[in-house]
């Protein structure tokens, strides 16, 4: 049956282009701001050079990886994309998905590159803005972060809309999403390893051993630390949310294509682009929210960031209803039952969005320095290193419960309203205002850098205090957006799992007496654990090299600590760069090869169980590590503000230990699990045709293990 592409898809294209235009305008406005004194420009230049070098080397490696997968998709995947679960190797090349894969990869790279470039330009300008007022510093940093948010959503909407318009099947959009996810995996893992290599090294030697202040220019790792903020929290997190955003839209499109096969061409086409249209409405809401934040003034930047999220949520809910009505009026032959279903799906979108806000709110409670959990962790530091680590672990685990309940409720209500398609639309809703979410997240590393530049540029205690306030809000914003991203990614991969199940045509009852299912689920539970362990060990190995380098510089050149000579920043940047790129290869290979091997050996049903196990354990690990790490970080900062004795005390030193443990938790392993889950589900889906050819989908060994 042919699919009619509704003209309302033009709306998504226009809004996506508008988003890129606004991002460019914001970039121009930021570049016109005063970059500060000569010292500030010099420091910012070091950061920019280090970030560009890392991305350039990473992109060269990625190009080889992308080319290999392009050839695999082109030559070895079944070319019949509409064969109703009967893969056909016709000898024709699979150009459609292969081209879409390249486009998705390039779009993800572009979004990360643009956001990172503006981030390293905005940091010194935000620091200089703090010399005028807290509002000025906030405006520059937030608009810098908004460039990333608008670039991510605009690129995604343009890519999805154009590919679907040309090929008129969600199967080709699957290639676009797979490209975005593989790039995100490299960007998030590599950036996370880089930033924590430098951060841990800087803290263990500079702060704990030599009692240097935060961001002291005498610390050889301080520039590498600031570079890491940009490549990890801006480029990496941007690619991560780009990936989840595209995956949520794709899952809903695939399910609409399958579940609406009995409807008319016009109605089927409308339901397929429904998630795209509502996502474009979310972008409008994000744009309005960004402009409203700019118009408002406040002495509490944290509350202003949260207000932007809440106002974007409200605007989206209102505009979404209007666009549903427009789509109903412009769809020929739509029945009353289908109209009711569309309104139910809209309700699912709102439910998903509210669930995302709940997850963000939970992260806020468990990580803000004015809330009980973080202050209790800080007080536990009075009892020593071991106790502060135990406290952080406990609160991190407690923080898993509310988001889990929120997602369970969202899935239950959405499934009640419209089955698996309702759950997929809830995932779309959770990521509808991702433009605002990414803007808030990218704001964090910009103000972190600006605080460092304010100190290193000699702007004085008052300016540093203002920058500290912006930085504190940024830490909380990053914790909230990480929680939001984790929840959204999990709901998105559940939706992708449903589409996988529909494609396979297997009813996953998860009968644990079936050895295939049990083995698959068990391996799935282990996958995020193995992935997290590899990333944390990578940080540990690289941080050890960084520690040795910093100690060597201090011991061999006493003039560094005296402030008479600058440290060798290039050597620490080199350690972080080479180590991160070397260490990300194994986790990336595992994320793609693991699901293929499970499907090939134990069959597609076992692979479905594998994905369920990975999603469930991945959610727990991701929320726990992100929130525990954020709480340890802010507990340390609260002590550094003069509480519980302040800097230089045994309590402060214990809190540094907690923060050091939490660094790879919250910025490397925790948020990288989101991307791992999406990559594994997309890998299972895109390689499904090949897996079904192995003993009819039973696998090499699975045929002997099925009762």
DSSP assignment letter at 695: G
- 3-class DSSP state for residue 34? coil
How much is the average pLDDT of 20-45? 91
Please tell me which residue, 463 or 240, carries the higher pLDDT value.
463
* pLDDT value at residue 595: 94
User: What share of the chain has pLDDT > 70, as a percent?
Assistant: 93
Alpha-carbon distance of 263 to 248, in angstroms, equals: 23
Confidence tier at 521 by pLDDT (50, 70, 90): very high
Q: What number of residues does the chain have? A: 707
DSSP assignment letter at 206: I
DSSP assignment letter at 525: H
CB 532 within 8 A of CB 669: yes
Q: Dmax of the chain from CA atoms?
A: 81
Contacts of 567 (CB under 8 A, 6+ apart): 218, 219, 220, 553, 557, 560
* pLDDT value at residue 372: 93
Phi, psi of 131 (to 5 degrees): -70, -20
* pLDDT value at residue 6: 67
Does the structure show a pLDDT above 80 at 343? yes
Does the structure show a pLDDT above 50 at 86? no
Task: Count other Cβ atoms within 10 Å, centred on residue 542.
Answer: 25
* pLDDT value at residue 621: 92
Alpha-carbon distance of 578 to 160, in angstroms, equals: 34
Most confident of 160-169, 435-444, 451-460, 520-529: 520-529
Does the structure show a pLDDT above 80 at 489? no
Contacts of 484 (CB under 8 A, 6+ apart): 356, 359, 360, 363, 430, 437
- Condensed to tens digits (0 to 9), the pLDDT of residues 399-423 reads 999 888 888 998 999 999 998 899 9
Contacts of 301 (CB under 8 A, 6+ apart): 134, 138, 469, 470, 473
* pLDDT value at residue 3: 59
> Minimal CA–CA distance to 489: which of 246, 667, 190, 255?
246
Task: Count other Cβ atoms within 10 Å, centred on residue 5.
Answer: 19
In degrees, to the nearest 5, what angle opens at C-alpha 8 toward C-alphas 27 and 411? 85
Please tell me which residue, 614 or 433, carries the higher pLDDT value.
614
Token code pair at residue 397: 């685990």
Say which range, 202-216, 255-269, 453-467, 651-665, has the weakest mean pLDDT: 202-216
How much is the average pLDDT of 429-435? 86
DSSP assignment letter at 213: P
pTM (predicted TM-score): 0.87
Say which range, 55-59, 387-391, 396-400, 550-554, has the weakest mean pLDDT: 55-59
Residue that is written with structure tokens 């194994």 in the block? 586
Q: What secondary structure does DSSP assign to 62-97, as a single string?
A: HHHHHHHHHHHHHHHS-S-TTSTT-----S---HHH
Token code pair at residue 375: 């202050």
CB 138 within 8 A of CB 293: no
* pLDDT value at residue 474: 73
DSSP assignment letter at 212: P
Most confident of 178-182, 208-212, 435-439: 178-182
- Condensed to tens digits (0 to 9), the pLDDT of residues 280-325 reads 999 999 999 888 887 777 677 877 887 888 888 899 999 999 999 9
User: What share of the chain has pLDDT > 90, as a percent?
Assistant: 33
């Amino acid at each position: 049956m042919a699919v009619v592409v509704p003209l309302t898809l033009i709306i998504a294209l226009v809004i996506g282009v508008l988003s890129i235009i606004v991002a460019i305008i914001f970039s121009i406005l930021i570049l016109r701001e005063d970059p500060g004194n000569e010292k500030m420009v010099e420091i910012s230049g070091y950061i920019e050079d280090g970030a560009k070098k890392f991305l350039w080397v990473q992109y060269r490696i990625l190009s080889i990886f992308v080319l290999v997968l392009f050839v695999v998709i082109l030559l070895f995947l079944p070319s019949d994309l509409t064969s109703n679960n009967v893969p056909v190797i016709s000898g024709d090349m699979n150009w459609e998905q292969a081209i879409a894969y390249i486009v998705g990869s390039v779009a993800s790279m572009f979004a990360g590159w643009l956001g990172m470039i503006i981030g390293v330009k905005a940091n010194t300008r935000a620091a200089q803005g703090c010399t005028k007022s807290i509002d000025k510093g906030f405006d520059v940093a937030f608009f810098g972060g908004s460039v990333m948010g608008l670039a991510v959503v605009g690129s995604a909407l343009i890519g999805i809309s154009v590919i679907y318009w040309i090929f008129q099947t969600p199967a080709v959009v699957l290639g676009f999403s797979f490209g975005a996810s593989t790039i995100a995996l490299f960007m998030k893992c590599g950036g996370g390893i880089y930033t924590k290599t430098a951060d841990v090294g800087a803290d263990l030697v500079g702060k704990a051993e030599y009692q240097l202040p935060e961001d002291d220019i005498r610390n050889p790792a301080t520039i590498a630390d600031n570079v890491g903020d940009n490549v990890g929290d801006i480029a990496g997190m941007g690619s991560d949310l780009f990936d989840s955003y595209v995956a949520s839209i794709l899952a809903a499109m695939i399910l609409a294509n399958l579940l609406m096969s009995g409807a008319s061409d016009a109605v089927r086409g409308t339901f397929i682009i429904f998630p795209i249209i509502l996502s474009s409405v979310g972008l409008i809401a994000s744009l309005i929210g960004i402009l409203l934040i700019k118009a408002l003034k406040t002495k509490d930047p944290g509350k202003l960031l949260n207000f932007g999220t809440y106002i974007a949520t409200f605007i989206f809910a209102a505009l979404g209803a209007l666009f549903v009505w427009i789509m109903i009026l412009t769809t020929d032959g739509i029945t009353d039952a289908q109209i009711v279903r569309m309104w139910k799906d809209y309700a699912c979108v709102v439910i998903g969005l509210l669930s995302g806000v709940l997850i963000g709110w939970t992260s806020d409670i468990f990580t803000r320095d004015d809330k009980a959990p973080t202050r209790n962790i800080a007080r536990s530091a009075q009892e020593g290193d071991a106790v502060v680590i135990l406290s952080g672990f406990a609160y991190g685990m407690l923080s898993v419960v509310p988001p889990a309940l929120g997602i369970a409720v969202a899935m239950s209500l959405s499934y009640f309203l419209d089955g698996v398609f309702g759950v997929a639309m809830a995932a779309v809703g959770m990521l509808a205002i991702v433009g605002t979410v990414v803007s808030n997240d990218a704001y964090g590393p910009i103000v972190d850098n600006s605080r460092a530049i304010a100190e290193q540029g000699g702007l004085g205690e008052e300016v540093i205090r203002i920058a500290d306030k912006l930085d504190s809000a940024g830490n909380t914003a990053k914790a909230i957006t990480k929680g939001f991203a984790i929840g959204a990614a999990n709901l998105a991969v559940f939706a992708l799992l449903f589409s996988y199940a529909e494609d396979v045509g297997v009813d996953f009852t998860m009968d644990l007496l079936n050895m295939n299912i049990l083995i698959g689920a068990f391996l799935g539970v282990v996958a995020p654990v193995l992935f997290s362990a590899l990333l944390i060990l990578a940080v540990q190995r690289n941080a050890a090299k960084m520690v040795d380098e910093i100690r060597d510089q201090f011991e061999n050149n006493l003039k560094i600590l005296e402030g008479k000579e600058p440290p060798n920043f290039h050597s620490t940047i080199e350690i972080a760069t080479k180590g991160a790129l070397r260490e990300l290869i194994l986790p990336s290979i595992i994320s793609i090869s693991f699901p293929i091997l499970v499907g090939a050996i134990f069959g597609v049903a076992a692979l479905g169980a594998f994905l369920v196990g990975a999603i469930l354990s991945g959610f727990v690990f991701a929320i726990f590590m992100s929130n525990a790490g954020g709480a340890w970080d802010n507990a340390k900062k609260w002590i550094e503000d003069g509480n519980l004795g302040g800097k230089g005390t045994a309590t402060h030193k214990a809190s540094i230990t907690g923060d050091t443990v939490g660094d790879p938790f919250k910025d490397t392993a925790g948020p990288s699990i989101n991307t791992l889950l999406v990559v594994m589900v997309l890998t299972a889906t895109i390689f499904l045709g090949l897996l079904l050819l192995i003993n009819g989908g039973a696998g090499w060994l699975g045929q002997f293990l099925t009762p």
